[in-house]
A and B are shown apart, each in its own frame.
Chain A
């Protein structure tokens, strides 16, 4: 924590230095300003150091690739796009500071960024105050819809609920007993609250057939948890684990599963935060058959996806690097933003925000993503099983695209709420009291 003030001081000094330099040599600065007017700046707000760098660095790279491609095709509105990369260093307050810097100092037209929910929550007031646009590419817990934010990742009804439905079906093994295992923070807690309500009310699961357990961030000793899961699974009913374990804790969890011989045929684990990238650090042979629910898999063979993978490998210079779901979300978000800007002919935030709902762009798996009035998008849901090579075999998918729900209908606090920024101009309209402003 001690490094934050140091950084701030440095920036202040740099800022002061810049200001005096501008005053002294305005003539020198002129070319730089002129050049700046010729480009449209796009902010990239992803951690390049600290705990989240493992996931977010890839998203920074994919944004650079998309921007470079757009520039090759002639840029946007006759101007080149200029990426502005900042590093919020996995430090949540620093996210807000860096967002402010991007908007008020660099004058970016839109920002693509954030991974964890807590980082998103920390930048929300900044985007509201300075009226800019944030594209958020990660699956999250829902229960939110902000005018300035566009959620291109999955809401719970586009990932968690279909995954549970699949496991409860005959193909998924007719699961009757559920372990909800998560990391102790806002996304797993909210998702599990929704899932618990859904299991109890919709699938009529008895309370003693649900086990909810949380572990800290970066948890690495899973022996007790895994043997508890095994014991819970020996009650004579088909048992499955729904995992909202996030980040680094996943690798030791799966290693322990493999070592203790928990096979997918006995107790399958379906994960919402484990993708191709997380499996890259793992010997996947003992994990074959465990599941993940996403809206995109690298192994889906569509022409668009194959081209995307090829482009990614060429850009990053490493044919072994995988692609994943949040990368597709940025792909969709970026193309939607480009279309909306082209439609209104300006990068003015208010006009682009108004133009985005209804914008359509092809996703990588053969469908068309549509931005909805609640600032979420339509997505297909895929269930994949882990293959020996660390990729996923799609074993099930939704028949059509699923529209994202900002507010879960299964939670008592949010079942009456809807978000509609087009007709109602409100992110939390209460359909019972007919007012904007929550439950």
Chain B
């Protein structure tokens, strides 16, 4: 069967060749296009690969479009009709070879042409070759990168042509790097060419360059091998410096997440002295508020999706804050001064809240999308900075500054500080202490709710979300010094940067243990934490 098919293909190919000779180039291109497209109806990865390669070589103006459709899963085929279509976003079909719209109902056995990873690589390489001369500079740049990765010698003529025409410096460099990659990968080029190529690739200086240089065949001349290993060690030194910077950045980013989760606790536990085991569930509620807001936006106006987080932040604050006030009024206010009972009651409450959410929303994770400005990453020197982490750091800092400002300059902040420092005196000055207690607890919970909005961008939105943060949050508050917001701030960054520097060497599990041991030792030495509060608040 397979033999017969191969024979047929070969025969048809030969026929096409003969026809091409007879009828001129245009007809030949059309014939090879049809030939190439015919491969896609076989529903076989090898056949599809042959189709991609023939398309790339056909020189047809439609080739890039068809291959792009294949990459996007929009290339459909019907085995029965032996036809291949391109589907547009609305589901309409157009004939792949001619671009003509298909009228009437689609064939019954319509299915998309499946691709696997090996094919994805070949598709990227083929598209790279075809779009090197594209008018869009972004596309040209992406094409150069694709050729750099594929190192396919067949792209060399197109690459030379593109290099001759290119004016944009960045793209020109990418094209040169791509040419160097091909030269290095090819046998039969002169040593001088290879040495020049190594120099170009070494200038790139990233992990892809490292991979390329490490892959140079062993049988090269000593000069080339020496140059390559020198370039490799140069890149490695550079990358190791960037590694340290990157670890510090990861620490800051992890620290900002912890700061967000812990800062609400720093108020309820640190300032009020309430051991609130349900704090993590406030974070979880905030994440679910984000989910609900996003669902509503998706349903009513998907165009506003990017703004859904902006709406979710105040809503999460208000909702979690309201739940916090409710908890304070109904449970915690009866337990002031009884830390053990508070601990047990709030622990039970956390279980109740988790199960309530599980019953209401179901046990599975909820999908909370990243808005477009929070997706992806950019390169800064030798490291990758992801947008979502960058935004979360900014958000954490903004929340912290706003909170400090609130406590320092607002009347509520003044009253809150007065009540926590000396309750009896504050009451005798006419401050309604029980109202301040409720509002303070609400503030701490509300901030936890805002933390939930941020966490929904990087973690699971599930009923267990809060549990992962509660222990770490207590740790940071105790380490930083109970009752001191700056202690929480410094503590969370210090601990997490240390954690991130330990992690590459000790692994995630041991690194965490090491941090815990360090904290235990530290607390032995300084029982009141980094920034111990002095004065009357201490004896309370």
A binding-site residues for B, Cβ under 8 Å: 2-3, 48-51, 53-54, 57-58, 170-173, 184, 213-216, 218-221, 223-225, 227-228, 230-231, 233-237, 248, 251-252, 255-256, 259-261, 264-266, 268, 277-278, 280-283, 289, 291, 385, 387-388, 393, 395
CA distance A278 to B503 in the complex (A): 27
Given A224-B503, A251-B459, CB of A265 within 8 Å of CB of B120: yes
CA distance A417 to B212 in the complex (A): 46
Main SS at interface, chain A: loop
Given A233-B211, A387-B73, CB of A395 within 8 Å of CB of B388: no
Cβ contact within 8 Å between B363 and A385: no
Cβ contact within 8 Å between B365 and A260: no
- Which of B117, B208, B384 sits near A385, CB closer than 8 Å? B117
Cβ contact within 8 Å between A2 and B45: no
User: B276 at interface (Cβ–Cβ under 8 A)?
Assistant: no
Given A223-B250, A283-B367, CB of A261 within 8 Å of CB of B384: yes
Which B-chain residue is minimally distant from A251 (CB atoms)?
A: B460
CA distance A214 to B510 in the complex (A): 10
Name 20 interchain pairs, CB-CB below 8 A, sorted by A: A2-B344, A53-B463, A172-B118, A173-B118, A216-B508, A218-B468, A224-B500, A227-B384, A234-B207, A234-B211, A235-B214, A248-B365, A252-B460, A255-B458, A259-B377, A259-B387, A264-B117, A266-B149, A281-B367, A281-B461
Which A-chain residue is minimally distant from B512 (CB atoms)?
A: A216
A251: chain B residues within 8 A (beta carbon):
365, 459-460
Cβ contact within 8 Å between A259 and B376: yes
User: B186 at interface (Cβ–Cβ under 8 A)?
Assistant: no
Minimum-distance CB pairs A-B, first 10: A281-B365, A236-B214, A236-B215, A234-B207, A259-B386, A53-B363, A215-B508, A234-B211, A223-B250, A395-B116
Q: Return A277 CB to nearest CB of chain B, in Å.
A: 6
A50: chain B residues within 8 A (beta carbon):
464
- Which of B214, B246, B458 sits near A252, CB closer than 8 Å? B458
B389: chain A residues within 8 A (beta carbon):
223
Which A-chain residue is minimally distant from B388 (CB atoms)?
A: A259
Number of interface residues of B (CB under 8 A): 64
Given A53-B358, A224-B503, 13 extra CB contacts under 8 A: A57-B363, A173-B121, A223-B386, A223-B500, A227-B384, A231-B207, A248-B460, A248-B464, A259-B387, A264-B120, A268-B117, A277-B364, A385-B116
Cβ contact within 8 Å between B384 and A393: no
- Which of A173, A224, A261 sits near B117, CB closer than 8 Å? A173
A230: chain B residues within 8 A (beta carbon):
207
Cβ contact within 8 Å between A2 and B347: yes
B149: chain A residues within 8 A (beta carbon):
266
Cβ contact within 8 Å between A49 and B509: no
User: B124 at interface (Cβ–Cβ under 8 A)?
Assistant: yes
Cβ contact within 8 Å between A219 and B460: no
B binding-site residues for A, Cβ under 8 Å: 45, 73, 114, 116-118, 120-121, 124, 149, 207-208, 210-215, 239, 246-247, 250, 253-254, 257, 344, 347-348, 351, 354-355, 358, 362-367, 369-370, 375-377, 384, 386-389, 458-464, 467-468, 500, 503-504, 507-509, 512
CA distance A174 to B202 in the complex (A): 27
Cβ contact within 8 Å between B464 and A260: no
A261: chain B residues within 8 A (beta carbon):
376-377, 384
Which B-chain residue is minimally distant from A228 (CB atoms)?
A: B504
Which of B117, B207, B370, B468 has its CB near the most chain A CB atoms (within 10 A)? B117
Cβ contact within 8 Å between A171 and B118: yes
B239: chain A residues within 8 A (beta carbon):
231
Which B-chain residue is minimally distant from A223 (CB atoms)?
A: B250
CA distance A219 to B462 in the complex (A): 14
Given A53-B358, A261-B384, A280-B365, CB of A214 within 8 Å of CB of B507: yes
Cβ contact within 8 Å between B355 and A282: no
Given A49-B358, A221-B257, CB of A280 within 8 Å of CB of B367: yes
Cβ contact within 8 Å between A220 and B508: no
Q: Return B220 CB to nearest CB of chain A, in Å.
A: 14
CA distance A265 to B462 in the complex (A): 30
Which of A57, A221, A260, A277 has its CB near the most chain B CB atoms (within 10 A)? A221
CA distance A248 to B121 in the complex (A): 31
B461: chain A residues within 8 A (beta carbon):
281
Given A236-B211, A385-B116, CB of A395 within 8 Å of CB of B45: yes
Cβ contact within 8 Å between B384 and A260: yes
Q: Return A306 CB to nearest CB of chain B, in Å.
A: 15
CA distance A227 to B239 in the complex (A): 12
A395: chain B residues within 8 A (beta carbon):
45, 114, 116
B460: chain A residues within 8 A (beta carbon):
220, 248, 251-252, 281
Given A2-B344, A259-B376, CB of A215 within 8 Å of CB of B509: yes
B369: chain A residues within 8 A (beta carbon):
283
Which B-chain residue is minimally distant from A301 (CB atoms)?
A: B111
Cβ contact within 8 Å between B459 and A252: yes
CA distance A319 to B253 in the complex (A): 39
Cβ contact within 8 Å between B120 and A225: no
Cβ contact within 8 Å between A289 and B117: yes
Which B-chain residue is minimally distant from A214 (CB atoms)?
A: B509
Given A214-B508, A214-B509, CB of A393 within 8 Å of CB of B114: yes
Cβ contact within 8 Å between A265 and B124: yes
- Which of B213, B364, B503 sits near A54, CB closer than 8 Å? B364
- Which of B358, B375, B504 sits near A224, CB closer than 8 Å? B504
Cβ contact within 8 Å between A259 and B211: no
Q: Return B477 CB to nearest CB of chain A, in Å.
A: 19
Q: Return A335 CB to nearest CB of chain B, in Å.
A: 26
Q: Return A216 CB to nearest CB of chain B, in Å.
A: 6
CA distance A4 to B358 in the complex (A): 20
CA distance A170 to B45 in the complex (A): 12
B463: chain A residues within 8 A (beta carbon):
53
Q: Return B121 CB to nearest CB of chain A, in Å.
A: 5
Given A223-B254, A261-B384, CB of A171 within 8 Å of CB of B366: no
Which B-chain residue is minimally distant from A171 (CB atoms)?
A: B118
CA distance A215 to B510 in the complex (A): 9
Q: Return A330 CB to nearest CB of chain B, in Å.
A: 17
Cβ contact within 8 Å between B509 and A216: yes
Cβ contact within 8 Å between A224 and B365: no
Cβ contact within 8 Å between A388 and B246: no
CA distance A49 to B357 in the complex (A): 11
A260: chain B residues within 8 A (beta carbon):
377, 384, 386
Q: Return A37 CB to nearest CB of chain B, in Å.
A: 34
A213: chain B residues within 8 A (beta carbon):
507-508
Which A-chain residue is minimally distant from B369 (CB atoms)?
A: A283
Which A-chain residue is minimally distant from B343 (CB atoms)?
A: A2
Which A-chain residue is minimally distant from B387 (CB atoms)?
A: A259
Which B-chain residue is minimally distant from A283 (CB atoms)?
A: B369
Cβ contact within 8 Å between A289 and B507: no
CA distance A278 to B462 in the complex (A): 11
Which B-chain residue is minimally distant from A394 (CB atoms)?
A: B114
